[in-house]
Amino acid sequence: MKTILVPIDFSKVSEYAFDLALQMSKKAQSEIILLHIVDHPSSTTMNTMGIVDLDLDPMESIFMKKMIELAEGKMAAKVSEAESAGANVKSKIRIGNPFLEITQQITDTKCDILVMGTEGTEGIGEELIGSNAERVIRKSKVPVITLKEKCDLGQLNKIAVASTFEDVSGEFIRHLMALQEFLGAHLSFVKVNTPSAFQTTKSLKKQMEQFVKDYGFKNCSTEIYNDTSEEDGIVSFAEDNQVDMIAMETHGRTGIMHLILGSIAEDVANHAKRPVWTLNVRKEKGVKES
């Protein structure tokens, strides 16, 4: 883990994300890239001279420049504070759509992981708009940790790994094992048994135990949890068993497939109180998994 990307808007949840990234950086000797985005429909960014080149009316241009100056001051303070604690932090300010800029920076920075805060959304906002965190989870090519509350890295000792345990991506397995090793955590593999996709306890136990054996997982257990939906079951299992983090793979559905099938991982990240680690394993057309 060489590079950690952290989007920050100076809200409490983004501060929590930066704090967790600092803890991770200290343990892994990683570089942190702190990213702030000034929200604007234009994708234009500051040029090499630090001058904003936007096709705006004079009043809006003045407003945007003030927003950038304010952000620069806050970012400088954050970097100084982190460096005084021995962290290696670089800052970036971009202008544009937050979701588009974050996904672009994942590519540009070649980061190994993204850590971001999320408020979550409810009701009509969840159905029609969703959060930037959900959209990033759907498109990110690297693991994403989302969190809503302050998190102590040293207390992430038990991870609930929710899966169907069928056709699990080898990429997900590799990243999950790396996460377990980094945290020194116990893995609780959980299968949520729902009325619409019911399986007997005997068959599920056999399937899950074979999964653990096939991949050689250690320091782990298997659990079956009954609920009316997979999303609710995963969140409820985490609460009932006091796990410290939830880990899931997502297939990054977009367009009509996302509207029809949705995404369990995005819903869990949206509603869970605990940190959620996700990995998008959607493969491009014509690309086979190695």
> For the structural domain made of 3-117, what CATH number should be given?
3.40.50.620
Q: Where do we find the tokens 């996460």?
A: 179
Fold of 154-280: Rossmann fold (3.40.50)
Tokens representing 109? 């920075």
Please state, in angstroms and rounded to a whole number, the distance separating the CA atoms of residues 25 and 8: 16
Please state, in angstroms and rounded to a whole number, the distance separating the CA atoms of residues 161 and 262: 19
Q: What is the pLDDT along the chain (290 residues), one digit of tens a residue?
A: 999 999 999 999 999 999 999 999 999 999 999 999 988 755 444 443 344 455 555 566 787 788 888 999 999 999 998 998 889 999 999 988 888 999 999 999 999 999 999 875 543 333 333 367 888 998 899 999 999 999 999 999 999 999 989 889 999 999 999 999 999 999 999 999 999 989 999 999 999 999 999 999 999 999 999 999 999 999 999 999 999 999 999 875 444 333 333 478 888 988 899 999 999 986 543 333 33
Please state, in angstroms and rounded to a whole number, the distance separating the CA atoms of residues 190 and 159: 10
By CB atoms closer than 10 A (0-12, 13-18, 19+), residue 95 is buried
Q: In this predicted structure, what is the pLDDT of residue 210?
A: 95
Q: In this predicted structure, what is the pLDDT of residue 41?
A: 58
Q: In this predicted structure, what is the pLDDT of residue 19?
A: 96
53, 204, 221, 223, 231 from 192: Cα distances, Å: 52, 10, 15, 9, 9
Q: In this predicted structure, what is the pLDDT of residue 85?
A: 85
Q: In this predicted structure, what is the pLDDT of residue 250?
A: 87
Please state, in angstroms and rounded to a whole number, the distance separating the CA atoms of residues 161 and 247: 5
Please state, in angstroms and rounded to a whole number, the distance separating the CA atoms of residues 238 and 192: 12
Please state, in angstroms and rounded to a whole number, the distance separating the CA atoms of residues 224 and 164: 11
Query: Which residues of the chain does CATH 3.40.50.620 include?
Result: 3-117, 154-280
In the sheet with 144-147, reading across from the earlier edge strand, the strands are: 88-96, 31-39, 3-7, 113-117, 144-147, 276-280, 245-250, 158-162, 186-193, 220-226
Q: In this predicted structure, what is the pLDDT of residue 56?
A: 55
If one counts every other C-beta atom within 10 angstroms of the C-beta of residue 72, the result is: 15
